[in-house]
C-alpha cells in the first residue's frame, strides 16, 4: 500500500471539470512532481490533497485511511501536511520568527522548545540574521526560505509545494531547487511539487506526473517521461523532440509523408494514424547521399545556429515539414545546402495522437 | 531541527469545527434580526385591530387624502432634493477634482463636515437661522432695513425651505461619487478633445459629463432615498409648516390614538420605493460598484479657469457658507448666548446651557449614558457580526454562505422609520417583550448598521489573499483560530475603521429610534428632538455640538489609519 493514494478524483467548477478522474499512488518519502501547462488543474489537485476543497467524486487516502471523499473530508489542520504557496503567503503582521513559530505554538509546545526548534530551522535555512524582520523587508528568495522554514519546522508527513520557484530569478531558482531537494533528503517527508517547468521537475522529482486538461497523461521517472513519452502531448510538452504525423505500415514501420521510419516500439494497428517522436540530439546530419532509404530524410538546411557545444539545424524536408537536429559542431553545413538526416530507429517512438 | 534528538513534534488532534454551528447561529440571528420585523410589518398591514385579515388599510391609503397627500409631498420633496443636491454638488466636485480653483483642498474638509452633520441637527440650525420670526437671518434683515416685526426674507418652515435644509446634508453623496468618478476620467480623453480645438465647454459637454453621468445619477438617487426616508428634518420643519411627509405621517399614526395597522400598511409603499431606488442605483453603477473601479491613473490634468476661477470660488464659498459655516456658527452662538437673537459678545456670553445640559437636566445624563453604551455595544457586536459574516461569505466557508450576505444587506433597503415600526410591532407583544428596554434599541442599531459594516469588511476581505489563511490552516489552525490570529490582525485597521463608522452612525441615528425609545431609554438624538418640541434651542445646540465633536474626533482617528481600500463615508445615514 502506498502512502498517499488518489483514486478517481474529480473536481468540477460549474460546468468545467478541472480535475478529471485522477488516480495516483505516491510512495512514502518520494518527491512527486505534478507537471503540466497552465490551467490543467495542478493547483486544484494540490488543494484537494491539502483539504482546502472537497472532491466531487473519488477519494484521497493516507496510509489507507480516507481523508477526502465526496461527502466528508478531514480539515486541513488535521492532515499533518505543510504547504508552500505560490504567493509564499507570509503573514505581513508577524516577524520571520513569529511566522516560523506559529505552527509550533498551535501545538502547544513549551516556550523554550519552540525557541530552540525555530533557531535550528532558521540556521538551516540561513535566516537567523533576519529573524526579527517583517516579510515586507525581505527579498523574494529570503521570503521563499521563510516559507520553507515555516512549513518544515512542524515536521510534516507531507509537504505540498505550488510552483514555489516561479517568482525567483534564475540563479536563485537553481539554488532553491537544490535547497528543497537537500532538505527533503535530510527529513524524508513525502513531497508533492507542482510546477510547469519541465527542467525543474526533471531535477527534483523521483516521479513525474504529466497532467493535461484535468487528467493524467503519464506517470513515470524523469527518464521514462523524457525518453519514452506515452503520448504526443507528453513528447511535445517535454520539448526537445520532433513530432512527425504518419500512418502505421506494419508493426514497427510508419510512413510519414513518404518518409519511412522504423521505430523502437510496436503496438499500433496497421493503417492507424499515429505520431512519431524523435529527439533532436539523436539525429545525425550528412551531406552524403545514403545508400539506404529507411529512416533517412532528405531535406534542405534553412537555418543553422552555432551554440558553442552544438550546432542547431532547422531542416525542411521534401514533404515541406521542418525538423530540428542538434549535432556536434564538426562538419558545418551551409544554409540552403541539401542534406540527409538520419533518424535512428532505436530513438524513434510511435505515439498515439 | 536536529535529526539527532528523538523528539517528535506532537500531532495536532482534532478539535471541533465551529464553522457550521457559527454559520447556523448567524443565519438564525440575522434572519430574526431582519425578517422578524418585516414579517410583523406585513402581518399588521393586512389585518385590523382585532387581528382579522383585511385590505381596509390599503383602501384607506388610496382614498383618504390625509394619507395620500404625504406621499405626493414626500416624492416631490425627495425629487427636488435629488435635483438640488446634484446641482450643488456636480460643479463643486468638478471644481475640486479638475480645476485650478483656489482653496480646493479645504472643500473636501467642509464637505466631510456636512457629511458628518446629522440632518436633523442641520434642520434645527436652519430653524435658528431662518425661522420667520426669530431666525437670525430675518432678525438681521429687519434691523438692517428697519422693518416691521413680522417681515422676513426667508422662511424655513416651507416645502422649499425643507428641500433646502435637507439638500445641505445630502449633496455630499453626489459630491463623493462624482469627484471619485472625475478622478478616474482619463485626462488624455479630455486633452484629445482639447487638442482637436474643442472649447472647454464642448469638452465638458461631450467628454466629461457623459463619463460622470452615471455617478451623478447614482448620487442623486442616494440623495432622493435619504430624503424620502428621513424623519428628523421633516418632523422639525414640515410639521410647523402644517404638512406631513410619509415618515412623519407614519410617526403620527403612533401618537394617541395609535393606529399601528395603518402605519404598517403605509410603510409598505415606502419600502417598495426604497427597494426600487436602490435597485435602480445598483443597475446604474453596475455590479462592481463605482467607487471601487480601477485605480487613480496619475495626476489628472487641471483645467485653468482664468478669471472664472473667482466665480467658481464664490459659488463654492456660498455653498459651504450655507451648508456648513452658517449652521455651525448658529449652533455655537445659540449654545453660548442667553437668547438666540443676541449676537455673541462678552455681555451675552453664558454657560447656562452647558450647565443645564450637563448638570441640571436629568434626562441628558441618562441619554448620554444610553447613547454611548449603545454606541459601544453596537459598534463592537456589529463589527464582530459583520466580520464573521463577511468571512463566511467571501471564503465560501459553508455551502449556502452567500445567503448570509443577502441577509446582511437587506436592511439597507428598509427606511429607518419603517424598521422602527416593524421592531415596535415585533417586540412590544408578550412573546418578546423587549420594548422599553435598551435591547430593542441594540437590535435596531445592529440591523441598521449591518449592511454598511458588512459591505466595508467584505471589500476588505477581498484585499486579503486566501492563501494567507490557508497557510495557517495547513499548519494546524482551525478556522476560528485563523480568523482570530491571522485574518483579524491583518484587517485590523479596516476593523477599527468599521467600528468607528458604526459608532458614529449609532450616536446620530434618529429615524428608527423615535418610535422605540421610552422615558428610561432616551438617546441624545431623541432628546434633541424632544427639546426642539419644547423650543429649548440652547440645550440642543450644546448637545448637537457635543455629538459633532465626538464624530469629528472619531472620523479623524479612522481616517488616519492606513487602510487598504479607504473608508467610505457613504456608509453613514441619518
Ligand atoms: N475557484 C474556482 N472557480 C472556478 N474555476 C476555477 C477555480 N479554481 C480554478 N478554476 C479553474 O480551474 C482550472 C484549473 O485551475 P488550476 O489553478 O488548478 O490550474 P493550474 O494547473 O494550477 O494552472 P497554473 O499553472 O496557471 O497555476 C482553470 O481553468 C481555472 O480557471
Ligand atoms: Mg496553479
Provide residues of A within 8 Å CB-CB of chain B: 50, 52, 75-83, 85-87, 89-93, 102-104, 106-109, 113, 117, 120-121, 124, 150-155, 160, 186-187
**C-alpha angle B24-B28-B34 in degrees, rounded to nearest 5:** 140
ipTM value, please give it.
0.82
Domains of chain A by residue range: 4-227, 240-352
Q: What mean pLDDT do residues B323-348 have?
A: 82
A19 CA distance to ligand 1 centroid (A)?
A: 9
How are beta strands A273-279 and A241-250 bridged, if at all? antiparallel
Give CA separation, B526 vs A61, B245, B420, B436, B533, in Å: 63, 19, 13, 14, 11
Q: What mean pLDDT do residues B81-87 have?
A: 95
**For B101-114, what is each residue's pLDDT tens digit?**
888 888 888 888 88
pLDDT at B191: 67
pLDDT at A90: 93
Q: How close B475 comes to chain A (CA, Å)?
A: 5
> Within chain A, how many helices (H) and strands (E) appear?
8, 20
Q: Roughly what angle, to the nearest 10 degrees, separates helices B19-45 and B402-409?
A: 40
**A201-210, B70-79, B338-347: segment of lowest average pLDDT:** B338-347
**For B219-239, what is each residue's pLDDT tens digit?**
899 899 999 999 999 999 999
Write out chain B residues lying below 8 Å of A79, CB-based.
Answer: 474
Q: How close A318 comes to chain B (CA, Å)?
A: 54
Query: Who among B1, B465, B477 is closest to A121 (CB)?
Result: B1
pLDDT of B300 above 80: no
Write out chain B residues lying below 8 Å of A91, CB-based.
Answer: 468, 471-472, 486, 490
| Plot region of A41 (φ>0 → left; ψ -120 to 50 → alpha; else → beta) | left
Pairs across A and B, CB distance < 8 A = 93
Nearest chain B residue (CA) to A188: B3
pLDDT of A4 above 80: yes
Interatomic CA distance for residues A268 and A272, integer angstroms: 7
**For B127-168, what is each residue's pLDDT tens digit?**
989 888 888 888 888 888 887 777 788 899 999 999 999 999
**For A179-213, what is each residue's pLDDT tens digit?**
788 888 888 889 999 988 888 888 889 999 999 99
Alpha helices, H only, B410-482: 416-427, 438-462, 466-474, 479-482
Interatomic CA distance for residues A241 and A264, integer angstroms: 15
Contact between residue B181 and residue B290 where contact means Cβ atoms under 8 Å apart: yes
A79 CA distance to ligand 2 centroid (A)?
A: 21
Q: What mean pLDDT do residues A294-321 have?
A: 88
Instruction: Name the fold adopted by A4-227.
Output: Rossmann fold (3.40.50)
Contact between residue B381 and residue B446 where contact means Cβ atoms under 8 Å apart: yes
Interatomic CA distance for residues B167 and B170, integer angstroms: 5
Q: CATH topology of A4-227 equal to that of A240-352?
A: no
Percent of chain B with pLDDT over 90: 30
Query: Who among A103, A117, A160 is closest to B1 (CB)?
Result: A117
How are beta strands A190-195 and A158-162 bridged, if at all? parallel
Interatomic CA distance for residues A279 and A256, integer angstroms: 16
Ligand with the closest atom to the CA of B396: 1
- Residue B5's pLDDT band (cuts 50, 70, 90): very low
Q: Is residue A38 in contact with ligand 1, taking CB distance under 6 Å?
A: yes
A60 CA distance to ligand 1 centroid (A)?
A: 20
A159 CA distance to ligand 1 centroid (A)?
A: 21
Contact between residue B305 and residue B101 where contact means Cβ atoms under 8 Å apart: yes
Query: Who among A81, A107, A109 is closest to B474 (CB)?
Result: A81
What 3-state class would DSSP assign to B423? Answer: helix
Give the torsion through C-alpha atoms of A89, A94, A97, A100, to 10 deg: -40
Interatomic CA distance for residues A336 and B3, integer angstroms: 63
Chain A contact for B355 (CB, 8 A cutoff):
no
Q: Which of A89, A104, A183 to mutate to test the interface with B (most CBs of B within 10 A)?
A: A89
- Residue B14's pLDDT band (cuts 50, 70, 90): low
Quote the pTM value. Answer: 0.78
Q: Is residue A222 in contact with ligand 1, taking CB distance under 6 Å?
A: no
Q: How close A169 comes to chain B (CA, Å)?
A: 22
Write out chain A residues lying below 8 Å of B475, CB-based.
Answer: 77, 82, 102-103, 106, 150-151, 154
User: What is the overall mean pLDDT for chain A?
Assistant: 89
Chain A contact for B492 (CB, 8 A cutoff):
yes
**What is the CATH number that goes with domain A240-352?**
2.40.50.140
A40 CA distance to ligand 2 centroid (A)?
A: 8
Q: Is residue A274 in contact with ligand 1, taking CB distance under 6 Å?
A: no
Ligand with the closest atom to the CA of A44: 1
CB atoms closer than 10 angstroms to residue B390: 27
Q: Is residue A18 in contact with ligand 1, taking CB distance under 6 Å?
A: yes
pLDDT at A101: 95
Helix (H) / strand (E) containing B316: helix B308-320
Q: Is residue A13 in contact with ligand 1, taking CB distance under 6 Å?
A: yes
**For B550-570, what is each residue's pLDDT tens digit?**
988 888 887 776 543 333 333
Q: How close B376 comes to chain A (CA, Å)?
A: 27
Q: Which residues pair with A246 in a beta bridge?
A: A274
Contact A91 B471 (CB under 8 A): yes
Q: Is residue A306 in contact with ligand 1, taking CB distance under 6 Å?
A: no
Domains and CATH numbers, chain B: 45-287 (1.10.3720.10), 354-574 (1.10.3720.10)
Q: Which of A44, A63, A78 to mutate to test the interface with B (most CBs of B within 10 A)?
A: A78
Ligand 1 atom with the shortest distance to the CA of A44? 18
Q: Roughly what angle, to the nearest 10 degrees, separates helices B260-285 and B19-45?
A: 120
Q: What mean pLDDT do residues A252-271 have?
A: 86
Write out chain B residues lying below 8 Å of A108, CB-based.
Answer: 10
Write out chain A residues lying below 8 Å of B7, CB-based.
Answer: 113
Q: Is residue A44 in contact with ligand 1, taking CB distance under 6 Å?
A: yes
Contact between residue A231 and residue A352 where contact means Cβ atoms under 8 Å apart: yes
Write out chain A residues lying below 8 Å of B492, CB-based.
Answer: 93
Which one of A160-169, B39-48, B183-192 scores highest in mean pLDDT?
B39-48
B473 CA distance to ligand 1 centroid (A)?
A: 21
Ligand 1 atom with the shortest distance to the CA of A37? 25
Chain A contact for B473 (CB, 8 A cutoff):
yes
Query: Who among B2, B12, B471 is closest to A85 (CB)?
Result: B471
Q: Is residue A196 in contact with ligand 1, taking CB distance under 6 Å?
A: yes
- Give me the DSSP letters along B19-87: HHHHHHHHHHHHHHHHHHHHHHHHHHHTB-TTS-B-SHHHHHHHH-HHHHHHHHHHHHHHHHHHHHHHH
Q: Which of A52, A74, A76 to mutate to test the interface with B (most CBs of B within 10 A)?
A: A76
Contact B471 A120 (CB under 8 A): no
- Residue B571's pLDDT band (cuts 50, 70, 90): very low
Q: Which of residues 12-31 of B touch A (CB under 8 A)?
A: 12-14, 17
DSSP tag of B302 = P
pLDDT of B296 above 50: no
Query: Who among B11, B17, B473 is closest to A80 (CB)?
Result: B11
CA-nearest residue, atom 16 of ligand 1: A41
Q: What mean pLDDT do residues A149-175 have?
A: 85
Amino acid at each position: 500500500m502506498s502512502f498517499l493514494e488518489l483514486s478517481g478524483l474529480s473536481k468540477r467548477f460549474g460546468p468545467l471539470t478541472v480535475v478529471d478522474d485522477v488516480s495516483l499512488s505516491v510512495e512514502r518519502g518520494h518527491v512527486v512532481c505534478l507537471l503540466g501547462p497552465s490551467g490543467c488543474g495542478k493547483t486544484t489537485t494540490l488543494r484537494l490533497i491539502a483539504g482546502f476543497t472537497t472532491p466531487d467524486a473519488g477519494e484521497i487516502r493516507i496510509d489507507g485511511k480516507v481523508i477526502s471523499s465526496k461527502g466528508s473530508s478531514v480539515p486541513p489542520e488535521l492532515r499533518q501536511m505543510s504547504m508552500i504557496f505560490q504567493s509564499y503567503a507570509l503573514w505581513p503582521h508577524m516577524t520571520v520568527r513569529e511566522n516560523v513559530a506559529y505552527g509550533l505554538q498551535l501545538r502547544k509546545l513549551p516556550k523554550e522548545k519552540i525557541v530552540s526548534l525555530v533557531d535550528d530551522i532558521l540556521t538551516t535555512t540561513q535566516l537567523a540574521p533576519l529573524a526579527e524582520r517583517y516579510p515586507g523587508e525581505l527579498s523574494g528568495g529570503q521570503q521563499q526560505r521563510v516559507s520553507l522554514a515555516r512549513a518544515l519546522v512542524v515536521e510534516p508527513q507531507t509537504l505540498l509545494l505550488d510552483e514555489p520557484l516561479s517568482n525567483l530569478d534564475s540563479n536563485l531558482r537553481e539554488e532553491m531547487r537544490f535547497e528543497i531537494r537537500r532538505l527533503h533528503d535530510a527529513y524524508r517527508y513525502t513531497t508533492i511539487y507542482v510546477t510547469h517547468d519541465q527542467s525543474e521537475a526533471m531535477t527534483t522529482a523521483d516521479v513525474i506526473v504529466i497532467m493535461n486538461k484535468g487528467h493524467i497523461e503519464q506517470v513515470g521517472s524523469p527518464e521514462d517521461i523524457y525518453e519514452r513519452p506515452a503520448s504526443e502531448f507528453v513528447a511535445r510538452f517535454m520539448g526537445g523532440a520532433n513530432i512527425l504525423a504518419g500512418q502505421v505500415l506494419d508493426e514497427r514501420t510508419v510512413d510519414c509523408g513518404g518518409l519511412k521510419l522504423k521505430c523502437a516500439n510496436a503496438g499500433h494497428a496497421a493503417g492507424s494514424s499515429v505520431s512519431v517522436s524523435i529527439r533532436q540530439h539523436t539525429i545525425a546530419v550528412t551531406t552524403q547521399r545514403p545508400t539506404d532509404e529507411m529512416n533517412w530524410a532528405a531535406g534542405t538546411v534553412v537555418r543553422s545556429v552555432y551554440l558553442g557545444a552544438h550546432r542547431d539545424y532547422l531542416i525542411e524536408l521534401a514533404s515541406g515539414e521542418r525538423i530540428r537536429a542538434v549535432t556536434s559542431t564538426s562538419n558545418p553545413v551551409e544554409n540552403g545546402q541539401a542534406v540527409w538526416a538520419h533518424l535512428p530507429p532505436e530513438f524513434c517512438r510511435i505515439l498515439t495522437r | 531541527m536536529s535529526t539527532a534528538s528523538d523528539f517528535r513534534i506532537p500531532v495536532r488532534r482534532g478539535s471541533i469545527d465551529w464553522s457550521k454551528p457559527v454559520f447556523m447561529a448567524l443565519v438564525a440571528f440575522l434572519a430574526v434580526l431582519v425578517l422578524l420585523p418585516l414579517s410583523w410589518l406585513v402581518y399588521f398591514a393586512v389585518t385590523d385591530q382585532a387581528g382579522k385579515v383585511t385590505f381596509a388599510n390599503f383602501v384607506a391609503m388610496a382614498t383618504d387624502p390625509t394619507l395620500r397627500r404625504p406621499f405626493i409631498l414626500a416624492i416631490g420633496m425627495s425629487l427636488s432634493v435629488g435635483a438640488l443636491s446634484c446641482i450643488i454638488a456636480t460643479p463643486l466636485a468638478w471644481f475640486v477634482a479638475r480645476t485650478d480653483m483656489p482653496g480646493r483642498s479645504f472643500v473636501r474638509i467642509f464637505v466631510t463636515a456636512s457629511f458628518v452633520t446629522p440632518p436633523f441637527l442641520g434642520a434645527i440650525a436652519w430653524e435658528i437661522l431662518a425661522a420667520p420670526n426669530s431666525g437670525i437671518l430675518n432678525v438681521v434683515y429687519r434691523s438692517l432695513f428697519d422693518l416691521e416685526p413680522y417681515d422676513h426674507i426667508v422662511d424655513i418652515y416651507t416645502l422649499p425651505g425643507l428641500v433646502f435644509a435637507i439638500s445641505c446634508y445630502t449633496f455630499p453623496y453626489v459630491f463623493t461619487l462624482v469627484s471619485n468618478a472625475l478622478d478616474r476620467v482619463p485626462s488624455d480623453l479630455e486633452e484629445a478633445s482639447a487638442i482637436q480645438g474643442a472649447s472647454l465647454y464642448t469638452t465638458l459637454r461631450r467628454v466629461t459629463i457623459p463619463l460622470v453621468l452615471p455617478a451623478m445619477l447614482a448620487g442623486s438617487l442616494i440623495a432622493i432615498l435619504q430624503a424620502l426616508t428621513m424623519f428628523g428634518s421633516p418632523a422639525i420643519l414640515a410639521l410647523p409648516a402644517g404638512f406631513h411627509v410619509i415618515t412623519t405621517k407614519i410617526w403620527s399614526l403612533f401618537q394617541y390614538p395609535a393606529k399601528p395597522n395603518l402605519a404598517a400598511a403605509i410603510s409598505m409603499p415606502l419600502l417598495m420605493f426604497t427597494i426600487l431606488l436602490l435597485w435602480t442605483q445598483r443597475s446604474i453603477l453596475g455590479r462592481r460598484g463605482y467607487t471601487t473601479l480601477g485605480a487613480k491613473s496619475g495626476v489628472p490634468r487641471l483645467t485653468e479657469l482664468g478669471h472664472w476661477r473667482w466665480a467658481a470660488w464664490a459659488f463654492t464659498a456660498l455653498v459651504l457658507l450655507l451648508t456648513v459655516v452658517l449652521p455651525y456658527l448658529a449652533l455655537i452662538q445659540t449654545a453660548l448666548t442667553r437668547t438666540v437673537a443676541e449676537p455673541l459678545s462678552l455681555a451675552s456670553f453664558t454657560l447656562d446651557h452647558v450647565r443645564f445640559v450637563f448638570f441640571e437636566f436629568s434626562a441628558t445624563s441618562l441619554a448620554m449614558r444610553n447613547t454611548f453604551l449603545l454606541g459601544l455595544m453596537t459598534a463592537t457586536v456589529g463589527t464582530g457580526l459583520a466580520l464573521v459574516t463577511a468571512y463566511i461569505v467571501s471564503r465560501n466557508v459553508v455551502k449556502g454562505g452567500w445567503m448570509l450576505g443577502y441577509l446582511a444587506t437587506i436592511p439597507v433597503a428598509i427606511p429607518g422609520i419603517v424598521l422602527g415600526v416593524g421592531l415596535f410591532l415585533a417586540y412590544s407583544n408578550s412573546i418578546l417583550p423587549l420594548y422599553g428596554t435598551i435591547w430593542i434599541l441594540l437590535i435596531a442599531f445592529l440591523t441598521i448598521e449591518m449592511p454598511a459594516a458588512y459591505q466595508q469588511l467584505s471589500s476588505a476581505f477581498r484585499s486579503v489573499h486566501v492563501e494567507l489563511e490557508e497557510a495557517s490552516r495547513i499548519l494546524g489552525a482551525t478556522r476560528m483560530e485563523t480568523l482570530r490570529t491571522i485574518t483579524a490582525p491583518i484587517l485590523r485597521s479596516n476593523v477599527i475603521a468599521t467600528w468607528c463608522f458604526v459608532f458614529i452612525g449609532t450616536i446620530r441615528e434618529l429615524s428608527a429610534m423615535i418610535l422605540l425609545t421610552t422615558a428610561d431609554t432616551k438617546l441624545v438624538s431623541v432628546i434633541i428632538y424632544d427639546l426642539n418640541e419644547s423650543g429649548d434651542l440652547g440645550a440642543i445646540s450644546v448637545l448637537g455640538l457635543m455629538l459633532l465633536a465626538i464624530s469629528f474626533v472619531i472620523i479623524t482617528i479612522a481616517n488616519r489609519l492606513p487602510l487598504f481600500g479607504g473608508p467610505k463615508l457613504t456608509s453613514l445615514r441619518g
